[in-house]
Amino acid sequence: MGCRQFFLCLTLLLFLVAGDESSELSNERAALLEFKSGVVSSHPVDRLASWGSSSALPVCNWTGVECSNNAGNSRQIVQIDLSGMSLHGTISASLSNISSLLVLDLSHNFFRGRIPWQLGRIPHLKQLSLSWNLLEGGIPPELGFLRELVYLDLGSNKLFDEIPQPLFCNGSSALEYVDLSNNSLSGEIPLKGHGCELTRLRFLLLWSNKLVGTIPPSLSKSTDLEWLDVESNNLTGELPSEIVSKMPKLQFLYLSYNKFVTQDGNTNLSPFLSALVRAENLQELELAGNGLGGEIPPIIGDLSTNLVQIHLDQNLLYGPIPPQISNLVNLTLLNLSANLLNGTIPLELCRMAKLERLYLSNNSISGEIPAEFGNLPHLGLLDLSKNELSGSIPDSFANLSQLRRLLLYENRLSGTIPRSLGECVNLEILDLARNEISGGIPGEVAGLRSLKLYLNLSGNYLDGALPLELSKMDMVLAIDLSSNNISGTIPSQLGSCIALEFLNLSGNSMEGPLPASIGKLPYLKSLDVSSNQLNGSIPQTLQTSLTLKQLNFSFNMFSGNISNNGSFSSLTMESFMGNQALCGTIKGMHSCKKKKHPYNSITMPLIVSLFAVFSLCLFVYRSISKSKLRSQLGIFSRQDDMDYDEEKGKKNDHKYPRISYKQLIQATGGFNPSTLIGSGRFGQVYKGVLQDNTRIAVKVLDSKTAGEIKGGSFKRECQVLRRTRHRNLIRIITTCSRPGFNALVFPLMTNGSLERHLYPSHGLNPGLSLVQLIGICRDVAEGVAYLHHHSLVRVVHCDLKPSNILLDDDMTALVTDFGISKLVNGVDELKLVDDSVSFESTDGLLCGSLGYIAPEYGMGKRASTQGDVYSFGVLLLEIITGRRPTDVLFHEGSNLHEWVKSQYPHKLSPIVEQAILRYAAMALPSSLNSVWEDAILEMIDLGLMCTQYNPSTRPTMVDVAHEMGKLKDYVTSPPSLLIQATQSKLDAAASSIKAPVNL
């Protein structure tokens, strides 16, 4: 009886303790549930599935919720981090009932509506992050009550109205980070009056709003300011010399695209630059697009030697370029374009060994181009266009191995095009238009296969024939050779420029026929061959082209019948005038005389007979091919337990360990939802632990969904996995199959999928570094390259995306999920195995996941290795932009490739800057900025190449793996390793701002 009383008392005690714990967070639980009631997740997996009134999980274990580590029964919710979870809906005011909250991060979602003013009642809130949503209305003045707030980020929303003064002037100096950028905020910067001294402020980002007035003098009290960005507003007044003179820690100063003026009536830039001399850590200075007047003073050479970028473009600066600017030895970008500068190019500029981009265009600079430019080993862009430069193009440009863009158009350059330019093997743009250059087009230059944007040699005195080497430009988008003296015929080999969209050969002396191959260019949109001496008929291929929109054949000697059909349907007589022998149905063109054709009665039967013979031959050929194919694929009819060692080139009688259905039930707790770590079209993945403590991932295939594919997804994945061995491909432990149940067993990857790191949720590291991401992409490329080109059974993955890339303990990437993969012929890697082999056929299935699917699949094309290349390119662009491809598709009606391409090249800076911020969380040292910017631009270029619409112009995965390997070597070279050490310190500093308390 005593024992029963003891256990009864113990049970009652435990009940009371549990009751206390439950009541402790009951209000918080109710607040979270009310918040959830207004939220919807667009992600395939409900990110808030653990949030529920019936959930057995304690509130502190809900996704994104952190509690304090206090002992006893006084645990409190101190952090809610739901960033990047694809959540839609409104932000509930109920969150203000969680009075213990220190961090609230709802950034990178799709929340709409207004910011609840009640959030200003959370007394100890230190971090509020609501950026990158769709929030509207004004900023609640009540947020000024958050006197302990350290980190405020409301950027990239749709906020309007004025910035409320209490936000900055509440008598508190706790704020260190303020980002209100990329909204539609108006009025002045409210830093006037008592209590407006933000003495601890380090970051102030107000760019891209509608702010007016001057920069408040009280900002000079923020002596710890490191980053000031007010560009793209309507701010006025003189450049704030006195204010910046009191900011010795300033590293980034962005004042571009406002209405600032220089001192002394917009004639004197010296006082402002003198004030900046004290900022010894200054790395980037942007003053573009203001209309600043005066000369560039020599004191610019006394600025911080840490400077890596200077933007003074689009102003009214005049006079010569001061040679003292060469004292800035670490400068990588100098932009002085669109001013009134004159004089010659100082030779001292050619001693700035780290210079990568130099913009001097649209000025009145004269003299010759210094040959010493060839001494700049890192120069990748040189823009000297729209000046008064004379002389010849230096042969020394051949030394510029990194040169990608050479823009010399609209000058007075003479001489010939140097053959040595052909040694610039990375050149993407060559524009020499509207100069006085003569001679022929060198074959070495015409054969630059690296040109992938445009070649413009128009408006010169070039002569001779078109070199056949032009056909090697299979990536170039535009060729303009108009207004020269080029003679000879148009070579049919131009049809090899398969990426070409614009071709202009007008205003030359070319003769002969127009090749039909031009009309077969799959992406050609504009063709102008006017004002030549071309003859013959206009090829029918041009009229049947599905892409041509602009055509001009005028003032030639074409003949024949022209109908207003196909691509000619929208043309007028202006496109054909000056061709006396043309006739047809174009409005204004004289009609043709009808001719009788007595042989029609013979022609049609002959065509039908030939078609029947062709069909018979094709049937015989396919029958023979299928027979050979079955013999080649005999390996798949053998025992499944037979493995193959590709390194030794022989079969092994190794059998996979047998795991029963019961063992899987035990390992996963009966496939308990709490062990679910992922799901997809073909099933779910659970984590588990076997009896020998082996941690496993069990992929259970959905029999209904997998059954949609002829032959079954399960058998296909088994076949593929057992015959592919590579360090970057997931290794299969075993399989388990019974009626109605099919499962694959893999080792558990403790670091989860790449998707969970790109869009982190509860309990995960908030992000990966760029070095890690480049390594991961290199691993993926090598794994897929092995599948495409080196495996005994060559495979097309068909569903490359972040959730199908797993990370092991060392953050090595392993490609997984071959559920809809297709096998390709070992003889011809681009030819699919015949559909008669049932286990690999995917007829009727659109291969892949929305946003990552190659465009040709949507037109009924079969799966191919180029489709995987496209998906990999989307992955690269997703990593850099931080945008899911489905987000771009649903919200902008475009795809990620088109969106990035629309920003290319002049609007890439914000994307690069955001990527650097995303992976660094803070301002970076100049050396890190340079390395990371290069790496990001390389990934963008590679991503765009991989996602080209024409599959044949995409690189192979072997090429991609090679490029990613070089990029990995670049960012992990000894100088970069020093940078990474610096970065770890910066990350620690960022943590002190964003999470100033120990949770």
DSSP of 398-435, one letter per residue?
Answer: GG-TT--EEE--SSEE-SB--GGGGG-TT--EEE--SS
Mean pLDDT of 115-133: 95
Query: Mean pLDDT of all residues in the chain?
Result: 81
Concatenate the DSSP letters of all residues of 360-395 into one string.
--SS--EEEPPGGGGG-TT--EEE--SSEEEEPPPG
Contact 247, 279 (CB under 8 A): yes
DSSP string covering 333-360, please? EEE--SSEE-SPPPGGGGG-TT--EEE-
Could you tell me the pLDDT band of residue 632, with boundaries at 50, 70 and 90? very low
Query: Rounded to 5 degrees, what angle do the CA atoms 296, 289, 912 make?
Result: 105
The residues that bridge with 212 in the sheet, in sequence order, are 234
> 297-325 b/e with 16+ CB inside 10 Å = b?
bebbbebbebbbbbbbbbbbbbeebbebb
Q: Environment class of residue 668 by beta-carbon count within 10 Å: exposed (0-12), middle (13-18) or buried (19+)?
A: buried
CA–CA separation, 513 and 558 (whole Å): 8
Q: Among 656, 644, 634, 674, which residue's Cα sits nearest to residue 734?
A: 656
Q: What is the pLDDT of residue 41?
A: 74
List residues forming the annotated binding site for ATP: 699
Q: Which tens digits make up the pLDDT trace of 219-257? A: 999 999 999 999 999 999 999 999 999 999 999 999 999
User: Which is more confident, 532 or 547?
Assistant: 532
**Residue 590 binned pLDDT confidence (cut-offs 50, 70, 90):** confident
Tell me the mean pLDDT in the region 901-919. 75
8 A C-beta contact, residue 240 and residue 247 = no
Condensed to tens digits (0 to 9), the pLDDT of residues 934-954 reads 888 889 989 988 988 888 878
- Under the banding of pLDDT at 50, 70 and 90, the label for residue 704 is low
Q: How far apart are CA 864 and CA 861, in angstroms?
A: 9
- In the DSSP assignment, the letter for residue 869 is H
Q: Is residue 655's pLDDT more than 60?
A: no
Look-up of token digits 């010894």: 280
In sequence order, what are the beta bridge partners of 823?
Answer: 795
Q: What are 50-96's pLDDT values in tens digits? A: 888 666 788 998 999 999 886 555 789 999 999 888 889 999 999 99
- What are the structure tokens assigned to 395, written together? 């042969």
pTM above 0.75, yes or no: no
- Whether residue 644 has pLDDT greater than 50: no
Residue 697 — very low, low, confident or very high, per pLDDT cuts 50/70/90?
Answer: confident
CA 563 to chain centroid: 44
What percentage of residues in the chain have a pLDDT greater than 90? 46
Q: With pLDDT > 70 as the criterion, what percentage of the chain qualifies?
A: 78
Q: How confident is the model at residue 690 (pLDDT cuts 50, 70, 90)?
A: confident
Calculate mean pLDDT across residues 306-315.
Answer: 95
Higher pLDDT among residues 658 and 281, named by residue = 281
Instruction: Point out the least confidently predicted range of 112-126, 690-704, 796-810.
Output: 690-704
Q: What is the pLDDT of residues 182-223, one digit of tens each?
A: 899 999 999 887 778 899 999 999 998 999 999 999 999 999
* For range 579-597, the mean pLDDT: 81
Q: What is the pLDDT of residue 256?
A: 94
Mean pLDDT of the 109-117 span: 94
Q: Which CATH architecture has domain 751-992?
A: Orthogonal Bundle (1.10)
What is the tens place of the pLDDT at every residue in 751-796?
888 888 887 754 444 467 888 899 999 999 999 998 888 876 678 8
Q: How far apart are CA 253 and CA 290, in angstroms?
A: 14
**692 noted as active-site residue:** no
Helices (H), 895-956: 896-902, 908-920, 926-946
The residue type found at 806 is: L
pLDDT confidence of residue 595: 56
Domain extent listing, the chain: 14-230, 489-593, 751-992
Look at the alpha carbons of 490, 491, 492, 498 in this order and tell me if their dihedral is positive or negative.
Answer: negative
Among the listed residues 157, 56, 76, 143, the one whose alpha carbon sits nearest the alpha carbon of residue 113 = 157
Tokens of 128: 């509020």
Give me the half-sphere count of Cα atoms (radius 13 Å) on the Cβ side of residue 420: 13
The pair of structure tokens assigned to 486 is: 């080029």
Domains 14-230 and 489-593 share a fold: yes
pLDDT at 118: 95
Helix (H) or strand (E) holding 317: strand 316-319
Q: Given this model, what pLDDT does residue 638 score?
A: 30
| Residues 147-181 pLDDT 10s | 999 999 999 899 999 999 999 988 777 999 999 99
Cα 257–258–263 angle (5° rounding)?
115
Given 799, 817, 887, 934, the catalytic residue: 799
Percent helix / strand / coil, the chain, rounded to 5:
35, 20, 45
Per-residue pLDDT, 203: 95
Question: What distance, in Å, lies between the first and last C-alpha atoms of the chain?
Answer: 47
Rounded Cα distance, 95 and 977, in Å = 43
CB neighbours of residue 268 within 10 Å:
17
User: Which of the two residues, 923 and 123, has the higher pLDDT score?
Assistant: 123
pLDDT at 668: 86
Tell me the pLDDT tens digit for each residue of 811-834: 889 998 755 555 554 333 333 322
Say if residue 34's pLDDT is above 70.
yes
Looking at residue 26, its pLDDT comes to 82
Q: Per the CATH hierarchy, to which homologous superfamily does domain 14-230 belong?
A: Ribonuclease Inhibitor (3.80.10.10)
Q: What is the CATH number of domain 489-593?
A: 3.80.10.10
